[in-house]
Structure formats: structure tokens, C-alpha cells
Amino acid sequence: MFKLKEYKTRFLFRFGKSLIPIKIENIAYFFRDEIVFARTIDGNSYPLDESLNELQKQINPNDFVRVNRQLLLNADSISKLTPYKPGQLEIQLIPEFHKPIYLSHERSKCLREFLNE
């Protein structure tokens, strides 16, 4: 009998001397900026000891999409896709990411398909 893969439903983050549990649906995106952080929908960021590749295996691929080497996005955090160059998109997130996010032609196509399921 096959067992369905179970994905993480929450993370436990260090905040000073405290630990804060946060449900996965409250995480807007994971990003790498020297180390990996999780940014919550209320704009707080928490460091993680895991790589984006490791996180990608732990979270539901129906809810999160890897758009580049720096970002793993909750689909619900995408506020707008804007044409950038022919076939390429710029992504805008809520909460905002600290720099523009441009996708290649191939990644743009994959993201459109992912969001249009």
C-alpha cells in the first residue's frame, strides 16, 4: 500500500530566546540572502538552518513554487505578474521582496501554468 507524502504544516522559528510556531499558510515565501529566511505574510523574517532545496522537499508543491535560486514562493503571495521582456515576467509579492524579481522565458511559462491549474 502506498503512503501519501506528508508535508510540513508548521515551522518552529527562533526569535531571541523564544520559539515561535508559524503555520505554513502564514509563510509568504522563503528566500536566500547569504542564509535562508522565511518571510511571513505580516512581513516578519525568520532565519532557517535549511537550504531552499531541502525546504522544497518538505512543503506541498501544490502551494509553493520555486521561481529561481533565491526564492520559493507561496502562490498566494503573488500579487501581480507584469510583462518584462518578450516572454518574461516580473513578479510582485505581498509582502514586497527587497529587489525586483524577473523570470526567464521558461520559468515564466512554468509559473503561468502553475498559477492557472
* Domains observed in the chain: 10-115 (2.40.50.1020)
Chain centroid to Cα 54, Å, comes to: 13
Reference 11, options 64, 76, 55; nearest CA is 55
Distance between CA atoms of 27 and 76, rounded to whole angstroms?
10
Counting Cα atoms < 13 Å in the Cβ hemisphere of 81 gives 20
pTM, entire model: 0.90
Choice between 62 and 3, residue whose per-residue pLDDT is larger: 62
Chain centroid to Cα 3, Å, comes to: 26
Share of the chain above pLDDT 90, in %: 79
Tell me the pLDDT tens digit for each residue of 51-96.
Answer: 999 999 999 999 999 999 999 999 999 999 999 888 899 999 999 9
